[in-house]
Every structure is written in structure tokens, then in C-alpha cells.
Amino acid sequence: MSTPTLDKHSAALDAAENTAFEQITITLRVRRFNPEVSDEVTWVDYQLEMDPKERVLDALHKVKWEIDGSLTFRRSCAHGICGSDAMRINGRNRLACKTLLKDINPEKPITVEPIKGMTVLKDLVVDMDPFFQAFRDVMPFLITKGNEPTRERLQSAEDRARFDDTTKCILCAACTSSCPVFWNDGQYFGPAAIVNAHRFIFDSRDEGAEQRLEVLNDKEGVWRCRTTFNCTDACPRGIEVTKAIQEVKRALITRRF
Amino acid sequence: MPAGTLYRGREGMWSWVAHRVTGVLIFFFLFVHVLDTSLVRVSPQAYDNVVATYKNPIVNLMEYGLVAAILFHALNGLRVIAVDFWSKGPKYQRQMLWSVVGIWIVLMAGAFYPVLDHTLRTLFGS
């Protein structure tokens, strides 16, 4: 007796398995820099056998684990939450852990560079201290006056929705390092700091909005924004960054928030 | 291989670049314009001499370029104002940019003959 059902099933399974383990050759072109060896920047091509459904981070891992252990980059959670692996992939800021190879044309060499506008320490690792200093400068914590209430600080759903978008920030610096103003003027607070100020300025429970607005009213504050929308395009969390910056600008003019 | 590659920004970044470039071009025009106009105070003859050197097809083409720069800078300036002051501005910035480009093309087509009329007649006969 033949078993057409079983044959058919296994054929379908084979097909599924073949697509599941599709392998293609990609070229990963990485900008390498090691100040302990040379002051010169070099571009190194790595030929890798990868599944197009894998991520750029997997390709970097493959290089580090199997080809050259000296390749240096940051990553922690590897699932788009910690914000460690923002880098410039094919010319745009993205998280390596959220970028699938098939989405960025794996037929051509994939260029990977550190994010722009910050000092490169080694390979893809940059000095993030100025970035976090700008974040601290906007006082990203609840500021209140008067006595502490004996119960929770309640907030309506509408009040919570007012700043919902800017709560999503993971501080990956993809926005700040995509900003042409920031590249030319490292003193600029940058989109990420303004987004995190926005998160508290428009929080009905917070009473420190005046202080934060004063910080951002600086010459290097929100007024440096030239609305290039690079930050909005780069944000891996889909935050409407430019919109948030515009809202802070308007809050400074109208003093309504 | 260069030290770094160009950032591949989208419409927003390139509109900003174009805004800067047209702004600088307009500044240079104004600079020259203030200088040659102030020559009237030196002597009307000197002014006439300088303006006479402008009467050639190349300067006429630059005038058309000036129209292009001013039109883009003005229209995109309105877009930037809308992004700044209209609450839905950031959401529709891309559509507004394509509107700016569309209006710019129409106005440039409209300005083609009025601006280049004289040069076209001189170069391609009466």
C-alpha cells in the first residue's frame, strides 16, 4: 500500500525545511579602528554564510566568534530593549539586533559603522558619556513640591496618553547620532535628551516642567533643532521624535504644558 | 575607502540641505546686489557700467537659478513654519515637502519664459 498522505506531508516538510535553512553568502563590510594598533581606520570585508532571516547582530557574532575575536561592539539583551547596539548599517542608524539581513539587500556588501558624532573608542564602540550627560542635564526623574501624598499619585488615562510616545525611549542614541546639528555641535542636547525631558514636562504628576524648560531654552537646547527628521526616521522604537521636540518648543513659547 | 560614509537621510534631511544651500546662494546674491546697487552713490556711470556686464545669457541663466533658489527657500520655509507651529506638521512633513516640490516645479515652468525670454531671442534668432 502506498501512503500518499505521508509522502505528501514529507514533501511539504522538506520544502519547509529547505526554506527554513536557506543559506546565502553575504559580505559584511565593517569599519575597524583600534587605537592601540594604528590611528588609521580600515574597512574589512567578511564573507559569511548566513540565513537571510538572521539579523546583522548574528552576522557580527559570527565574525567575532568564528573569524576575528578582536571585533568590538556593544550588545546586551540582543532583543531591541537595552539599546546597546545602535550602529550605522548601510548608512542609516539602526539596532543591529532589530535589522534582518533580508530587509537591507544582502546581495550587496552591508556596511557597518559606529554611530556618528561621538568619539570612536574601538571598532563600533563610541564614548557615550556626553550623551548620558545631556540626558542627566534634563533631570529625567519626577520632581514634585509640597508634602508627599500618603497614597499613589493618580493620573487619568488621558493624562497618561499625553506623553505615552516619549516613554518608549531606550537611550540607544540612534536619534542623537543621526542629527546633522549634533554632528557639527556636540554641545547640542540632542533629540534623546529632549525626548526624555518631554516625557516629564507633559506628565501631569510632575512639577519640574519650568526647570526643565529653562534648561532646554539654552542656545544649545531645543532651538538648535532644524527639523531634518533624521531622528524620527532612525528611532528603533518608532517615537515621533521631531514632534516631541516641536511640542517642547511650543511649550516654551506658550508656557502651556 | 573613505573614513566614513554619507549618512543616508531621507526627504527631511535633504530638504534641510537644500534649504541651507539655497539660503547661502541667496546670501551671495544679496551681497553682490547691495554692492552693485550702492555704486549709484559712487556714480551713476559706474553703476551703468557694472549692470551692462550682467546683460549676457550666463547671468540671465543665473537669474533663473536665483528664482529657483528663492522659490524653494520661500516655499520650504513655509513648510518649516508649519512643522514648528502646526500640531500635525511633523506628521505631514513628507506630504508637505512633495507639495512644495510640486508648486516649485509649476512656478519654475511658469517663470521659464518671462525670465529667459531675452536670452532665448538673442541665442535662437528673432
**How does pLDDT run across B35-92, given as a tens digit for each residue?**
999 999 989 999 999 999 998 889 999 999 999 999 999 999 999 999 999 999 999 9
Nearest CA distance, A198 vs chain B (angstrom): 15
Residues B97-104, mean pLDDT to the nearest whole number: 96
The rounded distance, in Å, linking the Cα atoms of B89 and B45 is 51
pLDDT 10s digits, A222-241: 999 999 999 999 999 999 99
Distances in whole angstroms, Cα of residue A147 to Cα of each of A150, A201, A239, A245, B17: 9, 20, 34, 32, 51
> Closest Cα partner for B25 from B73, B97, B77, B59?
B73
User: Residue A17 — very low, low, confident or very high, per pLDDT cuts 50/70/90?
Assistant: low
Round to whole Å and give the CA distance between A221 and A216: 4
Please name which of A120, A115, A125, A112 lies closest in space to residue A70, comparing C-alpha atoms: A125
A250 vs B contacts (CB less than 8 Å): 84-85
Please say if the pLDDT value at position A13 is more than 80.
no
Rounded CA-CA distance B105/B109 in Å is: 6
**What pLDDT digit, counting tens, does each position of A168-218 carry?**
999 999 999 999 999 999 899 999 999 999 999 999 999 999 999 999 999
CB contact under 8 A, A227 and B16: yes
Domain boundaries, chain B: 10-124
Residue position matching grid coordinates 506658550: A254
DSSP for residue A153: -
The answer to whether A243 contacts B6, with C-beta atoms less than 8 Å apart, is no
The three cell numbers locating residue B51: 549692470
Domain B10-124 has CATH 1.20.1300.10: yes
pLDDT band at B1, cuts 50/70/90?
A: very low
Nearest to A111 among B5, B13, B93 (CB): B5
Is the Cβ pair B13, A228 closer than 8 Å? yes
pLDDT of A149 over the 60 cut: yes
In the numeric block, which cell numbers belong to residue A16? 519547509
Of residues A31, A90, A228, nearest to B9 (C-beta): A228
Q: For A123, left (φ over 0), alpha (ψ -120 to 50), or beta?
A: left
The SS3 assignment for A164 reads coil
- Using 50, 70 and 90 to split pLDDT, how confident is the model at A20? low
Within 8 A by CB and 6+ apart from A87, the residues are: A73, A93, A94, A95, A96, A112, A113, A114, A115, A124
